[in-house]
Amino acid sequence: MKILVCISHVPDTTSKINFTEGDTKFDTNGVQFVINPNDEFGLTRAMWFKEKQGANVTVVNVGGPETEPTLRKALAIGADEAIRVNAEATDGAFVAKQLAKVAQDGGYDLIIAGRESIDYNGGMVPGMLATLTDANFVNTCIGLEVEGNEATAVREIDGGKETIQTSLPLVIGGQKGLVEESDLRIPNMRGIMMARKKQLTIVEPADASNETKAVKFEKPAPKGAVKLVSPDNLDELVSLLHNEAKVI
């Protein structure tokens, strides 16, 4: 089984976010980038298929040279090879078309993408990718088993879970639950050394246009001041909740 894992290069959630050029560009200065968490769950599941069923795992990213350390980390975790599409990832449709070209050229049986990336939170790419590659699609996937050409997937729905049986080729939009957080892997020294010798292929982007563009970014409003009330002064607390907060 050939597996393609889509990797987004995203800011660490602890990074301080700023914008430049009149709030139209994201400021990358001082920002630590990581593998998108939803993609990391998918990569870990792909490694399980590699170890248990002998699957071949390729990771792919749409981005510039600055994303290569993230791909190298995926290789250190255990992926067999990496592909970087040499283009800026600014639009979901554009990214999906680039990934579809890679998927079609490689003839992959299973494509694992994150449900969404934690930077733009668009949630568009997996569904578009499935359409462009004419593959079956399961979103919000929290469980996956593959036997031969048949797959059993579990997805999260409102108020519960749904189990789906389908066939390959298949695209999933994975998320937390696809594997346990305790199963996520930290590259060890051997993996890091081996990653240096693994193939990282750079391909030029397919001819595709951006369908959308970011016009302006805006930070959330700052949190208001906190007013402390003594636990012995319930009357004041009730008054504040009634007259200032207006929640009672």
Residue 102 belongs to some domain of the structure? yes
Q: In this structure, is residue 55 part of a structural domain?
A: yes
Any domain includes 203: yes
Range of the domain at 134: 2-216
Cβ–Cβ under 8 Å, residues 88 and 119: no
Cα separation values, 180 from 42, 48, 138, 159, Å: 11, 12, 19, 20
Q: What is the DSSP letter of 158?
A: T
Distances (CA, A) of 129 to 47, 84, 112, 183, 189: 22, 17, 10, 27, 34
Query: Residue 205's domain is classified under what CATH number?
Result: 3.40.50.620
pTM for the full predicted model? 0.87
pLDDT in tens, 92-134: 999 999 999 999 999 999 999 999 999 888 899 999 999 999 9
Q: Is residue 236 part of a domain?
A: no
Quick: pLDDT tens for 131-168. Answer: 999 999 999 999 999 999 999 999 999 999 999 999 99
What mean pLDDT do residues 188-210 have? Answer: 92
The total of structural domains in the chain comes to: 1
Q: Is residue 154, in this structure, part of any structural domain at all? A: yes
pLDDT above 70 covers what percent of the chain? Answer: 100
- Is position 32 within any domain? yes
Q: 172 lies in a domain?
A: yes
Q: Is 124 part of any domain?
A: yes
